[in-house]
Structure 1
Amino acid sequence: MSTTEFSSEAFASAIRAGNCRDAVASIMGQNPIGINRSKQLLIEFNKLDPSDQEAILDWSQLPPERLPIKDQRWYVEVIARHEMAHIVVAKAMGFSTGEATLVLHSPDGSHQGTSLIHLEHSTPLLQDVSTYLERRIVILLAGYLAEPEEAHERTSYAHDLIRKKITESDLQKALELIRLKLNIEGSSQPNAVEGALHSLVKQASSIVEANFGVISSLAQKFAARIDFYEQRIGWDGHEIDVQPEIQNIVLWP
């Protein structure tokens, strides 16, 4: 939202609702650190009632890493589902997993998540490599497919992946691996990449749907550990394995 679109009245209303961070972020258009970074912000600040000014001043003294997450809790669960889907689908396909981590950097949604997948079996033959790549692609695609809470939205996400209508980094990695897999197999047919992507998205979607209850439950527990922006949370491989939901994973041949 631009500075011209955010009025003093809306600014004050947001502050009174306890959303000081969002009010400041909306005017500054960037990750807020204090109140002295924007001329427009100071103009709006000077129009506030003294009590609202005091609320902003108190808020601005918090160090960035201790700024609490409030009304973005839903988003933390979305990105937690993404990471837990990588883990659960990997286990469903016979992989062991290591640490999963998550950090929400700022109110603009920027974040970083990781999930470690282990390659436990040797791949001495090209066919072994091709099979590994196929399974790894499915694991990559699963993260994005598991983000929506509603099943019909997950179907829509699958269509977006197939049509390559998104800039999701995991999709770009998956496409690169698909091209490598096709090269190994000596496939040069027209639309081979699109055909492979369609098939693998369908497979990933099936595994996600079969295990969505497990993914969602793990994600809720994982996301609940984040209280502040820039707070890094993580489960190591053992912590993941001892979660009771893991026993309910539907295995995939």
Structure 2
Amino acid sequence: MTKKMPPAVRDHAVQIANHEMGHYVVARALGFETGGVSLTITMDLRHQAGASITLARSISSIEAMKEHLEARMMVLFAGAMAQALALKHSSGSRVDKPKATAILRGELGAEQDYAKIRELRHLLRNITYPETDPASSARIAAELKEITDRLWLRTQTIVEALADTISGLGEALVDGLGIVEQWGRATDTYEGVLTREVLERMGLVQAIPAVSVWAGNSHHGDHHS
């Protein structure tokens, strides 16, 4: 079906598909249960898309809470990063940081992800640095930056390591898009979904490694999830 899709529409569809697959792949790598991934796109480049991720999990300690918040923030960062992947096969896949930042800041549609990140990082800072005086705005700003920078870099490492998986799944989603028909006539809208069942059977999905949120954070000790 996508053979007839105009190149500009397909290019946009691939970016959005990569964004959703960024959320999906990093969520799986960090141990979240995942469902299907869907994408709808119109000829004038409006889109709706989503990756189903189960946020319910047992949290019985502050340490588990911190791990959950870090993982959730990384999943939210991963969409913009995957959308900003510069696929250069010679030097490997690199996240275009200015583009990823622009996507998150809402210039290209991921402002909801960024709003959630901004909220969650305050909660994470509150429990990571409970001794900080709430009136010490400079110190709080520095702690927020430390958390954000560390999780950004950690997410970037995972997204770049799994770039081929993300782009492969994004392409599979776009390749499955079909034109929506209404009353027997084609509309200007393409839509498609990779269901949980279909995704679970794909080799690319089965090969996603489990990653610890804490890896690379030596000051957290040898905590393993």
Scaled by the length of structure 2, the TM-score of the pair is: 0.72
The match for 2:195 is: 236
Are residue 99 (structure 1) and residue 42 (structure 2) matched? no
- Structure 2 partner of 1:113: 49
Q: Deviations over 1:54-85 (max 9, x none)?
A: xxxxxxxxxxxxxx741211110110001111
- Return the alpha-carbon distance in structure 1 between the equivalents of residues 5 and 209 of structure 2: 33
Q: Distance in 1 between matches of 2:94 and 2:194?
A: 30
Residues 212 and 114 of structure 1: CA distance in aligned 2, closer, same or farther (over 3 Å): same
Out of 139, 147, 153, which is 1:196 matched to?
A: 147
**Equivalent residue of 2:205, what SS?**
helix
Structure 2 distance, partners of 1:147, 1:93, is: 19
- Name which of structure 1's ranges 119-128 and 94-103 shifts more when overlaid on structure 2: 119-128
Identity %: 25
Q: Which one has a bigger Cα radius of gyration?
A: 1
Note the residue ranges of structure 1 that are not aligned, 5 or more in a row: 1-67
The yes-or-no answer on 1:74 pairing with 2:11 is: yes
Q: Match of 2:219?
A: none
Q: Corresponding residue for 1:51?
A: none
Q: In 2, distance between residues paired with 1:154 and 1:231?
A: 28
How far did residue 144 of structure 1 move? 0.5
Matched, 1:146 2:87: no
8 Å CA contact retained: 2:18, 2:82: yes
Question: Which residue pairs with 1:174 in the alignment?
Answer: 117
Match of residue 44 from structure 1:
none
TM score, norm. by length of structure 1:
0.65
More strand by share: 2
Residue 248 (structure 1) aligned to one of 207, 213, 218: 207
**Residue 149 of structure 1: CA displacement?**
4.2
SS in 1 for 2:48: strand
Bigger RCO (CA 8 Å, 6+ sep): 2
Unaligned runs of 5+ in 2: 87-92, 180-187, 213-225
1:219 to 2:162 alignment: no
Question: How much does 1:166 deviate?
Answer: 4.8
Which residue number corresponds to residue 183 of structure 1?
A: 126
After superposition, the CA RMSD in angstroms is: 2.2
Q: Is the 8 A contact 1:85 1:208 kept in 2?
A: yes
8 Å CA contact 2:28–2:210 kept in 1: the answer is yes
Q: 1:41 is matched with which residue?
A: none
SS for the counterpart of 2:58 is: coil
Deviations 1:33-67 (A, max 9, x none): xxxxxxxxxxxxxxxxxxxxxxxxxxxxxxxxxxx
Determine if contact 2:85/2:163 at 8 Å carries over to the other structure.
no
Change (3 A) 1:152 1:123: closer
Q: Aligned partners of 1:142, 1:171: CA distance in 2, in Å? A: 11
